[in-house]
Structure 1
Amino acid sequence: MASQEIDTLASALARLPGLGPRSARRAVLWLVKRRTGALLQLISALETVRDTLVECDVCANVDTQNPCGICADPKRDRHALCVVEDVADLWALDRARLFTGRYHVLGGRLSALDGVRPEDLNIAALMERVADREDDNRVDEVVLAMNATLEGQTTAHYIAERLEDLPVRLTQLAHGLPVGGELDYLDEGTLAQALRARRPMTG
């Protein structure tokens, strides 16, 4: 039987995404065996994050500075804005280093089932950013990078309707076959989207 303190730590770790009770217990054992090294480093890192992590007032990204590093970067294209559901989506897209503009985090997606309404998301701030037509901050393109789910696409359509009267170009991430994907392993929704988005072959 483990002590109450170890059980408490394992229970706390088990609440993290991707970790169940068994994985959490293994992590605790690994940390206990390395308590003079890895455990102390983890404690220090967690304390630093606790004391320095803030939400960006501009885009709602999470960083150790406000505005965040992306919003403060003068090399970023200030005229292109990518709208994402969550901070994890922002980090995933930015890791690819293909989008050179700035981001806007909604903080979720519309869902009638879960009671998430437009006012529950960061949509009003998005409208303000896009409506700002000053040269330094003028947004010319809004990329709707919602997840390919019913709720994600509902959110994208809602935002598109809200922005249709503003002089911006609206684009959306393409959905379809992933690179390296085999048809036999893909779900019907992905295959249907790939068929709808088919295009002529070029030589």
Structure 2
Amino acid sequence: MSLVQSVDNLAMLPAYLAAGTAVLVLLFDLLVARPAVTVAVAALGAAGTAAGAALVGAAGERRTFCVGADCSWVWGGRAALVGAVIALLTLGVLALSGPLLRAGRTPVGEYCFLLACAMTGGVVLGAAGDLITLIVALETLTLPLYVLVGLRRGSLAGAEAAVTFFVVSVVATTVTLLGAALLYAVAGTLHL
């Protein structure tokens, strides 16, 4: 018996847009090397991700990576709302970060890239249909945040905050993984 699994690329479009934003920010920072262009690419990518999330959400519920009736990716109203809110929050953070980025103590390319990576994790988080996707999305959301907290050059307080955030997050991740293992042991399935 062979299981054939297909991928619904339309359901994955918001995640593609978010991840593509991170890649484009990295490329524009490397090739163009102008902070204003890098921030503009990140802002356009966040706005595009929000629009893509809303448009795909308006098309109705879409499922992919399914085995039988259980799917690892479910893009519906909840996922569209989470994806659009995360993308709009990313856009808001970029807008509020203008003075910090113009001051020059924070590297613009790295900042925008890490913010776009965190946005990707947030978009995936809304569509998670199983525990594995949920945990990977949470980690993709939080790992760039550790670096963002400690990114400011010459700031001892930022470094201390990043280490504290990391230690607290490791404990939280451990408890989350324990909970996921217990849920799997009781329910016998990873799907939500």
Give the TM-score category using the shorter length. under 0.3
Which protein shows a greater Rg?
1
User: Is the helix fraction higher in 1 or 2?
Assistant: 2
Which structure is richer in relative contact order (CA contacts within 8 A, separation 6 or more)? Answer: 2
Question: TM (normalized to structure 1)?
Answer: 0.22
